[in-house]
Amino acid sequence: MSRTDRILASAEQHCREQGVRMTPQRRQVMMLLLTQSGPQSAYQLLDQFKTQYQSNAQPPTIYRALDFLVQQGLAHRLSSTNQYLACDHITCHHGHQGTVFLLCDDCGAVQETPMAGSAISELQQSINSLGFVTQQNPLLEVHGRCANCNVH
């Protein structure tokens, strides 16, 4: 079983548990995300979708699938770059309470890394102390240069 197959299987499992439907179209978009090396814009994904699956697809097709995947935590949206990528932690089962994305401005690579538990609880505490209520898990997007690009 390949890496993508394993992740897809986990994603399907997740959907069954949540009582939501992993339709063919959603799976196809998930597949596109999984086979990419890095984050993609919605229109890049649309182009690939048209090539690989359905030549006359329109933007709402992609945006709807992406919205679904993001809601389910199977993909993430990087709002600072308007890009989308598959969640890198679908198969592992540590909670997704806080995530940091390290975005290399040089090569475009993204590294997804869990936020330290203590940092999360400090954040939660300062948020709660202001009476603010959030469902969402915080996503932090940090721009800079990755280890590899720093060498060169």
Contacts of 119 (CB under 8 A, 6+ apart): 98
Residue among 2 and 135 whose Cβ is closer to a copy of itself = 135
126 binds DNA (CB under 7 A): no
Which of 11, 30, 33, 65 binds DNA (CB under 7 A)? It is 65
Q: Which of 95, 96, 104, 87 is nearest to 141 (CA)?
A: 104
Q: How many whole angstroms separate alpha carbon 97 and alpha carbon 95? A: 6
Using CB under 8 A as the criterion, what x/- string covers residues 54-73 for binding a copy of itself?
--------------------
Q: Which of the stretches 17-25, 33-41, 60-68, 144-152 binds a copy of itself when contact is defined by CB under 8 A? A: 144-152
Out of a copy of itself, DNA, none, which partner does residue 144 contact, by CB within 5 to 8 A per kind?
A: a copy of itself
A 10 A CB-CB count for 148 gives: 11
52 binds DNA (CB under 7 A): no
Q: What is the DSSP letter of 116?
A: P
Q: How many whole angstroms separate alpha carbon 39 and alpha carbon 32? A: 11
DSSP H helices in 72-116 = none
Site for a copy of itself, rule CB under 8 A: 79-80, 100, 102, 104, 111, 113, 115-116, 118-119, 122-123, 126-127, 130-136, 138, 140-148, 150
